Chain A
């Protein structure tokens, strides 16, 4: 079970990143949970100072960008 976390306040890019991550996980047929982390204090615990960011199983994969579905598949593999 992959744990996907989207770090961000809920802005348009954060939503797009969540959509792309879900689309990638679904296309890969993997089991996953997705959590939106919106509290700044919690985001900063990851060492992230720019949002949105994608975290997979506790590892920060991308910061301040919205990768496409194909790129995210590589991050979930």
Chain B
């Protein structure tokens, strides 16, 4: 908990305080069942912990939670990371009517989709590097 923007309230760390002057960058990952989805998920979390943005719930958009959809619409940048050519995360965005997003697909980096194997650090780092490169140009 921290003081919020000069108010006498404290702010939970999971709620961003009073719309800072920095660009609002929201990160979403498909977080599905295969290795490429694990890579997408871990990359999004790594980007968040590296200070590149805030990871948000793709499931919330899929569930049609109006406030979460509006939040995505109002973000300066939404980076959507899908694992595979099923493009589920992208479709969630499209169905929610959120069009302002940048897009990254793990399999486009030459990583093969497989069930039953774990993501490696090297694979996650490759996605993080690509994402950082994209975000730096926005």
Interface members, chain A 1-41 (any B CB < 8 Å): 8-14, 38, 40
The prevalent SS among residues of B at the interface is loop
**Which of B6, B16, B66 meets A49, CB within 8 Å?**
B16
**Listed residue (A38, A40, A47, A62) with the most chain B CB atoms within 10 angstroms of its CB:** A47
A40: chain B residues at CB < 8 Å are 11-12, 15
Taking the complex as formed, is B56 at the interface, i.e. its CB lies under 8 A from any CB of chain A? yes
Q: Assuming A9-B5, A12-B5, is B24 touching A51 (CB within 8 A)?
A: no
Size of B's binding interface in residues, CB under 8 A: 27
B85: chain A residues at CB < 8 Å are none
Taking the complex as formed, is B116 at the interface, i.e. its CB lies under 8 A from any CB of chain A? no
**Which of B8, B12, B71 meets A10, CB within 8 Å?**
B8
Q: Assuming A49-B54, A51-B15, is B70 touching A62 (CB within 8 A)?
A: yes
Taking the complex as formed, is B109 at the interface, i.e. its CB lies under 8 A from any CB of chain A? no
Interface size class of A (residues with CB under 8 A): 20 to 34
CB–CB B18/A9 < 8 A: yes
CB–CB A64/B19 < 8 A: yes
Q: Closest approach, in angstroms, between the C-beta of B138 and any C-beta of chain A?
A: 17
**Which of B10, B16, B67 meets A46, CB within 8 Å?**
B67
Interfacial residues, chain B to chain A (CB-CB below 8 A): 4-12, 14-19, 24, 54, 56, 60, 65-68, 70-71, 74-75
